[in-house]
Amino acid sequence: MKNGKYIIALVALVVIYIVYELNKPKPTDWSVTFSHHSSTPFGSKALHELAPNMFLGNTLNSSNRTVFELYKEDGIEDNMLIVASGIGLGKEDTEIILDQVAEGKTVLLSAFAYGGMLADTFGLVSETQDVIRLMPPKEIEAALLGESSVSINLKMGTNQTFQYPELGATSSFEPIESDSLEILAENEAGNPVLLRYRNNGQLIFSSLPLAFTNYFTLLSETTGFTEAQLSLFPEGEPIVHNEYYQLGRMESGSPLRAVLAIPALRWATFVLLLGLLAFLIFQAKRKQRIIPVVRPLANLTLEFVQTLGRLYYRQSDHQNLAAKRILYWKEFVRSHYNLPTQHLNEAFTNELVKKSGKEKAQVEVLVKHIQLIQAGEHVSEDLLLNFEKKLNEFYGIS
């Protein structure tokens, strides 16, 4: 009897600790992952969610397999995007990439530093400072929101200039001597940051991988440079985002991996866990213990938008923040209710009311706020806060 009380007390303490961990404020994760799953500032979830608009019809898939496995074993025919902290391709992968480019494919590589056979083939030498990995999180945020910036000059199309926070443009290539490489963009010091090799297809080298992260994809001053790089892919052709060279195969590193790989042991583990869970549930009912209610995890996309929102709000960039919130709301409506969002008219409002189950007055007020923001050139703080309140009511966030 006493042992049972101790077990229940221990379980209660564990549950309380879990509830506390799930609900305590989480600091912003500034780790550089480039992962399409990640909604942190230096993940690439926004790139994948906004791909249909940015790629003009191209589909963007992801993979954690090598270049050799994708092109030779799987036989894919997609163009390829590789974003990583460092890219050092060996002979096999280099030959396959050059073969694909010769056959008309487009391959875009983006990294702080290059090495290996591919870099040697084109004489690429990177000038890079690995500052983010060594900086405390508070210093990263302060640097991104600070006034120091670097000009990135695009040398194709309209020859635009983009202002990058200094922390986002710490890498470049040394001046090139090869006639086979074309400079598409350079920094204010005149060093190349975007190069292209042409064959029947094209091989593109970028030294600014952070351009493809959530933060810089959504930042108004830099999103144009991201779009300019992506516009180099042929319109309408599928693209695979190869994450192997940054994240590896993403296989489980848990000690249970060997156990779970054996069917008999895997089922024994599941039965044991289910039995333990059933025991705890029935014991709790017999003792009439109250089971703590664990709040569900918040939607990651909304959590990410709120993280970026705080950064924009500190800059008093109300217009930009409101535009980004509207963009994500439209994506939410398209993905959850299968509704087109080109025309926010009465028919759209009525259909959204039906599918969402929200009050008509609530939806009408939210749509009017969006129309008001999109029609104006200035968004006041009061309007922004009001709009934020209506959005949270729609999402069901208290």
Report the candidate in 305, 229, 215, 230 with the shortest Cα–Cα distance to residue 34. Answer: 215
What CA–CA distance (Å, rounded) separates 157 from 201?
A: 19
Q: Which residues contact 120 (CB under 8 A, 6 or more apart)?
A: none
- Lookup: tokens for 342: 């080109």
Span 198-245, pLDDT tens digits:
999 999 999 999 999 999 999 989 999 999 999 999 988 899 999 999
- Lookup: tokens for 23: 């609900």
Provide the residue ranges of all domains of the chain, joining segments of one domain with +.
45-247, 300-395
Q: Is pLDDT at 165 greater than 50 in this prediction?
A: yes
Q: Is pLDDT at 256 greater than 60 in this prediction?
A: no
Check if the beta carbon of residue 47 is closer than 8 Å to that of residue 38. Answer: no
Check if the beta carbon of residue 77 is closer than 8 Å to that of residue 235. Answer: no
Residue 3, CA distances (Å) to 7, 233, 279 in order: 6, 66, 14
Identity at 373, one-letter amino acid code: I
Ranges 3-17, 142-156, 373-387, most confident: 142-156
Other beta carbons within 10 angstroms of residue 38's beta carbon come to 21
- Residue 340: alpha-carbon gap to chain centroid: 23
Q: Is pLDDT at 358 greater than 70 in this prediction?
A: yes
- Lookup: tokens for 121: 């083939």
What CA–CA distance (Å, rounded) separates 207 from 111?
A: 5
Q: Is pLDDT at 268 greater than 80 in this prediction?
A: no
Q: Which residues make beta-bridge pairs with 173?
A: 126
Span 64-118, pLDDT tens digits:
999 999 999 899 989 999 999 999 999 999 999 999 999 999 999 999 999 999 9
- DSSP one-letter code for 72: I
Span 89-100, pLDDT tens digits:
999 999 999 999
Burial class (CB within 10 angstroms; exposed 0-12, middle 13-18, buried 19+) of 3: exposed
Strands 161-165, 79-89: pairing is unpaired
* pLDDT value, residue 1: 52
Average pLDDT, the chain: 83
Range with lowest mean pLDDT among 57-61, 130-134, 185-189? 130-134
Span 23-50, pLDDT tens digits:
767 788 888 999 999 999 999 999 998 8
Indicate left, alpha or beta for 316 from its phi (over 0: left) and psi (-120 to 50: alpha).
Answer: left
In this prediction the pTM is 0.62
The three-class DSSP label of residue 221 is coil
Q: Which residues contact 395 (CB under 8 A, 6 or more apart)?
A: 299, 302, 332
Check if the beta carbon of residue 79 is closer than 8 Å to that of residue 52. Answer: no
Identity at 306, one-letter amino acid code: Q
Q: Is pLDDT at 315 greater than 80 in this prediction?
A: no
Residue 317, CA distances (Å) to 74, 306, 378, 391 in order: 46, 14, 10, 18
Can you name the CATH fold of 45-247? Rossmann fold (3.40.50)
- Lookup: tokens for 66: 């090598």
- Lookup: tokens for 360: 């008509």
Indicate left, alpha or beta for 156 from its phi (over 0: left) and psi (-120 to 50: alpha).
Answer: beta
What CA–CA distance (Å, rounded) separates 75 from 62?
A: 15
Span 150-161, pLDDT tens digits:
999 999 877 899
- Lookup: tokens for 82: 């590789």
Q: Helices 263-286 & 2-23, crossing angle to 10 degrees?
A: 110
Span 361-383, pLDDT tens digits:
999 999 998 988 888 778 888 88
The three-class DSSP label of residue 149 is strand
pLDDT tier, 293 (very low <50, low <70, confident <90, very high otherwise):
low
Report the candidate in 375, 395, 373, 376 with the shortest Cα–Cα distance to residue 384. Answer: 373
The residue assigned the tokens 């319109």 is: 235
Comparing 4 with 360, which gets the higher pLDDT? 360
Q: For 288, phi and psi rounded to 5 degrees?
A: 55, 40
The residue assigned the tokens 């906004």 is: 50
